[in-house]
Amino acid sequence: MTEWIDGARVALAFAGLSFAAYTDWKTREVPDGLWYALALCAIALFALDLSLRFGGDAWVLAVPVGLIFVVAVTGGEIVTVVPGDDPLPEGYEFSAAERARIRLDIALSAALIAAAVAVFVGAGGLDLGLRTSLLEGPQAQAYSVSLMFGLALLMFFTSLIAGGADAKGLMALALLFPVAPALPGLPLVHASALSVVLVPFSLAAFFNGAIILVAARLPVSPVVSWRRGELRFPDALFGVPKPVAMVNLEREWVLGVVEGGQWRPKRMPTHGSHSDEKQKEALDFLKARGDRTVFVSPKLPFMVYLLAGFVAVLVVSCPLYFVGA
C-alpha cells in the first residue's frame, strides 16, 4: 500500500541531491530553499506513510518532527539576526534591534521544541494504530529522525561535517527516510533486518559518501605531494603543498591557523580555523613571513559524494549494516 511512497521519496532524494551536487560543484554552495522544499514534501509523505502504514492517529507524530527540523536546520536562527552570509568580525557588538531578534529567536526555538515535546508526550495517550515491534513503530521512527537532526548538528559543530549545506542535506535525507526504502530487488547485498532498523538510512548514505570521498582522495594527495617535492607525513595524507601566492581561498582550505601570533598547522579544517576571516588571516600571515608553500586541502563538493553514497546504499548496501554482524 505504501510502496509508491518509497518510490516518491527516492525520486525526490535523487532529484534534490543531483541539483545540490551540481550547485556544489559549480559554486561550492547549495541554496537553502532546496532543503526547505524537500522538507515540506518529506513531512507530508511522512504523515501520509504513518497514516497508511499504522492507521489511527499515527500521522500526528510527523508534527513534532517538523517542528524540530525547523529549529535544527536554521541552527536556532529562525529570524535573521544580522543580514548577509559573511561571518561577524571578532568583537562585533550587536545593536539593540539585533539583540531583540536574538531574544526572539531563543523564544521561538524554545516554543517549537516545547511544542514538539508536548506532542511526543501526548502521543502516548493517542491511538497510534497497528501494533508493531518497539523499534519499528511510529514513535520509534519519529524519535530516530529527530535524533538524526541532533547528530547532524553535532557532526557540524565538531567539524566532522565541514559545511552547513552538508549538515542540512543529512537532515533532509533523515526526514525523507525515517526507515530504509523497500525497492524490488534492491539492495543487491542484503543486511539483517535488525541492522537496517538500527542504522538510519540517511546515516548509511552519508557514511558511504564519506568512504567514497576518502577512497578518491587518499591515494591522490601523497602522489601530488611527492611530485611537488614535499612528501611530508602525515600532512600529505590530508592535503597537498601549494605555493602560498597561488592559494585560492574560494576553492581550498589552508591547513593551519594563526594563534597568539604563531602558526599552528592543522590536519583538516575545523570550525575554529575555516571561517573566511581566519583563512585570510592565515594566508596573509604566511605571505608576510615569506613562506614559499603551505599544505592546502581542496574544498571538495561533498554533495557529489553524498549523491554517490545515496545511490550506493540503494543499489549495493552500506558497511555500517554489517558492523558486529
Torsion of CA 159, 165, 171, 177, to 10 degrees: -120
Average pLDDT over residues 98-111: 94
* 192, 319 contact by CB (below 8 A): no
Grid coordinates given for 254: 589552508
pLDDT at 253: 86
Among the candidates 152, 179, 206, a domain finishes at 179
Question: How many domains does one find in the chain?
Answer: 2
Same domain as 170, residue 38: yes
Residue 16 falls inside a structural domain: no
pLDDT at 262: 87
- pLDDT at residue 139 is higher than 90: yes
Amino acid present at 308: A
Q: What is the DSSP letter of 292?
A: S
pLDDT at 14: 98
- Angle at alpha carbon of residue 192, lines to 325 and 146, rounded to 5°: 100
Q: Of 261, 218, 215, 224, nearest to 242 (Cα)?
A: 224
- Tell me: the pLDDT tens digits for 146-188? 999 999 999 988 878 877 889 999 999 999 999 999 999 999 9
Same domain as 175, residue 52: yes
Average pLDDT over residues 120-139: 89
Predicted confidence band at 90 (pLDDT cuts at 50, 70, 90)? low
- Tell me: the pLDDT tens digits for 231-257? 888 888 888 999 999 988 888 888 888
Average pLDDT, the chain: 90
Same domain as 120, residue 159: yes
Distances (CA, A) of 26 to 29, 111, 184, 245, 251: 8, 38, 35, 23, 11
Q: Of 312, 63, 9, 8, nearest to 176 (Cα)?
A: 9
- pLDDT at residue 86 is higher than 80: no
Among the candidates 179, 209, 237, a domain finishes at 179
- Tell me: the pLDDT tens digits for 279-307? 888 899 999 999 899 988 888 899 999 99
- pLDDT at residue 85 is higher than 90: no
* Domain limits for position 122: 31-83+94-179
- Tell me: the pLDDT tens digits for 179-227? 999 999 999 999 999 999 999 999 999 999 999 988 888 888 888 888 8
Torsion of CA 188, 135, 203, 44, to 10 degrees: 100
Same domain as 36, residue 173: yes
- pLDDT at residue 89 is higher than 80: no
pTM of the entire predicted model: 0.88
Question: What are the start-end ranges of the H helices in 55-163?
Answer: 62-73, 96-123, 138-157
Distances (CA, A) of 23 to 106, 262, 305: 32, 36, 13
Question: What are the start-end ranges of the H helices in 159-275?
Answer: 164-176, 193-198, 201-217, 220-227, 235-238
Same domain as 140, residue 53: yes
CA-based max dimension of the chain = 71
Residues of the chain with pLDDT > 70, as a percent, come to 95
pLDDT at 112: 97
pLDDT at 271: 60
- pLDDT at residue 274 is higher than 80: no
- Angle at alpha carbon of residue 324, lines to 153 and 311, rounded to 5°: 55
Same domain as 298, residue 167: no
